Amino acid sequence: MYAIEFRTKIKNGVIEVPKDYWERLRRETGDEQVRVILLTAERLEIEQAEMETDFIEQLLTNPLHIPDFKPLSRDEVHDRP
């Protein structure tokens, strides 16, 4: 499963999918059903604000643990082509 996110207006009860996604949806889903989740503008704005303000805090609180992670050395960080 993959997610597509876009903004649109509902016109006469119809949600128009942008042309950029039509072909992929047709290939991926064929005649199968898709799950649609609708968020109102107010909720979208709240979620965006939460993501922007809380992302660093979330990472600091719950750091990602990656097996065999080796941080870059100072020279590697400042190396430029």
Q: Tell whether 3 is covered by a domain.
A: no
From 66, 9, 48, 1, select the one nearest 28 (Cα to Cα): 1
Q: Tell whether 2 is covered by a domain.
A: no
Number of domains in the chain: 1
* Half-sphere exposure for 63 (CA within 13 Å, toward CB): 5
pLDDT at 42: 67
pLDDT values of the chain reduced to their tens digit, one per residue, 81 residues: 678 888 888 889 898 888 888 888 888 887 788 888 887 766 666 666 666 666 777 778 888 888 998 989 999 888 877
Q: Tell whether 34 is covered by a domain.
A: yes
Host domain of residue 20: 10-67
Q: Tell whether 81 is covered by a domain.
A: no
Q: Tell whether 27 is covered by a domain.
A: yes
Q: Tell whether 54 is covered by a domain.
A: yes
pLDDT at 73: 92
Q: Tell whether 53 is covered by a domain.
A: yes
